[in-house]
Amino acid sequence: MGPLLGRRAKNAAQSARASRIAVAIVIGILVGGIFAFLYPHGLFSWDHASQFKGGRLTKSIIQIGSTLCESSERISMLKSDIADLSSKNLELKKHNTELTAKLKAAEQKNNDEYEVMVVDELQKAGPFGSVKGIRTNSIVLPDDTINPRLSKILKKIAVQNELIVALANSNVKSMLEIWFTSIKKLGMPNYLVVALDDQTVDFCKENGVPFYKRDPDEGFDSIAKTGSNHAVSGLKFRILREFLQLGYSVLLSDVDIVYIQNPFEHIYRDSDVESMSDGHNNMTAYGFNDVFDDPSMGWARYAHTMRIWVYNSGFFYIRPTLPAIELLDRVAERLSQRLPAWDQAVFNEELFFPSYPGYIGLHASKRTMDRYLFMNSKVLFKEVRKDGKLKKLKPVVVHVNYHPDKLPRMIAVVEFYCNGKEDALESFPDGSDW
Ligand SMILES: *[C@@H]1O[C@H](CO)[C@@H](O)[C@H](O)[C@H]1NC(C)=O
């Protein structure tokens, strides 16, 4: 909202300035007119002229007339002057009305242009405990022209302007198969594979999986095929931007994820970004006060710090809002610089760091997903599978993000949660053996 608010403020300032200029012109012409008519008669000193500053012309002239002029000749002359001035005044008033109308029209045009960012009227704060800031930013006006072909696909498959999106090339074919098979089982139509190569297109076609392949002239495909991991990660954020520009909310999904329930039934939709956490307990997932100790400071040895484990940039729900799009742009921009950067670290830094001297922070609203419903594989293998009660919980998704042996663990997750094979998870070590 920031930049647009700024623009609105600028428009308002411009209008105000225009009004002030118009008023100044009117006053200038009137004062000039009075001098032209009255000064040659030698009736007015500079002192008297200064009485016109308030702009209440007729009244001032009558006062001046009654104090300075005795003869009837003078009075009738003044009367004719006043009549003359009144008619000029009327003309100017008419002109002024026209100017005001023009200004209003210009303002209206500006308002129409920035229709999406209706700024709330000023309101009182309300009683203690009753006030809430804005988390749920308004969505952007969809713009089909930025990618008509994608727009057509999304109109067909999205449900209530939402869909799951995954990027895939042929290297992840086996995982992709488990991924879409688990989604199909839930009967969901609103998912899409962004195919980064022809083999993936063919694979999707064979399996009746909705896919989208970017045009070769869109400049991304060379990155997709030959680019480093980081370059491909940057690509993800650029592609995602178009979905948002088209007005869709996206559940961005890696392919090392098994779907056990329909995720859209467990999304809050109140934040710009709603993300799975890499945390392994409540503190690390939801944030905590980490006390730093510096004994040399004696009385003030404890410094309190804010900590939270990173959001997983391989599974998040993002709404089509300006802060959300700004986030994608910032991440893509930083990943395009040739310095090595991990997309997940960049994603989190942009999302969480505040403004400070020399830096303007992003101001996006965020929500951490329930760590048992949107479960990472550390939680599953270190905690849940060993706990009789937690084992009975049914997650929405399991993301095998913490383990390199992704495929066998994904298969085990399917066996355990979907096929009722109770010992399916047992053979795996907690972590990898390196
Ligand atoms: C962890 O967080 C959840 C969600 O807020 C809460 O329901 C649960 O009681 C918390 N567990 C512990 C041990 O604090």
Asked, for residue 391, whether it belongs to a domain, the answer is yes
CB 150 within 8 A of CB 242: yes
Asked, for residue 19, whether it belongs to a domain, the answer is no
Asked, for residue 57, whether it belongs to a domain, the answer is no
Domain that holds residue 160: 145-285+313-418
Asked, for residue 278, whether it belongs to a domain, the answer is yes
Cα 330 to ligand 1 centre (Å): 33
* Token pair listed for 403: 């383990």
**For the chain, what percent of residues have pLDDT higher than 90?**
65
Cα 391 to ligand 1 centre (Å): 16
CA separation, residue 239 to residues 64, 218, 328 (Å):
75, 11, 9
**Distance (Å, whole) CA 65 – CA 61:** 6
Average pLDDT on 198-212 reads 98
Cα 283 to ligand 1 centre (Å): 9
Cα 398 to ligand 1 centre (Å): 19
Cα 282 to ligand 1 centre (Å): 6
Pairing of strands 162-168, 249-253: parallel
Average pLDDT on 140-164 reads 98
Cα 372 to ligand 1 centre (Å): 10
Asked, for residue 426, whether it belongs to a domain, the answer is no
Residue with tokens 């003030």: 300
Cα 373 to ligand 1 centre (Å): 13
Look at residues 152, 149, 142, 161 and name the one whose alpha carbon lies nearest to residue 214: 149
**For the chain, what percent of residues have pLDDT higher than 70?**
69
Asked, for residue 130, whether it belongs to a domain, the answer is no
Tens of pLDDT, residue by residue over 4-22, are 444 444 444 455 555 665 5
Average pLDDT on 139-161 reads 98
Tens of pLDDT, residue by residue over 22-80, are 556 656 566 555 545 554 444 443 433 333 333 333 333 334 334 444 456 665 666 66
Tens of pLDDT, residue by residue over 270-321, are 999 999 999 999 999 999 999 999 999 999 999 999 999 999 999 999 999 9
> Among the listed ranges 102-111, 134-143, 330-339, 418-427, which one has the minimum average pLDDT value?
102-111
Domain count, the chain: 1
**Distance (Å, whole) CA 48 – CA 50:** 5
Cα 370 to ligand 1 centre (Å): 10
Asked, for residue 35, whether it belongs to a domain, the answer is no
Cα 378 to ligand 1 centre (Å): 18
pLDDT band with cut points at 50, 70 and 90 for residue 3: very low
Maximum Cα–Cα distance across the chain: 118
pLDDT band with cut points at 50, 70 and 90 for residue 353: very high
Residue 71: what pLDDT?
55
Which CATH number covers residue 217?
Answer: 3.90.550.10
pTM comes to: 0.72
**Arithmetic mean of pLDDT over the chain:** 83
**Distance (Å, whole) CA 411 – CA 427:** 12
Asked, for residue 80, whether it belongs to a domain, the answer is no
Tens of pLDDT, residue by residue over 120-129, are 689 899 999 9
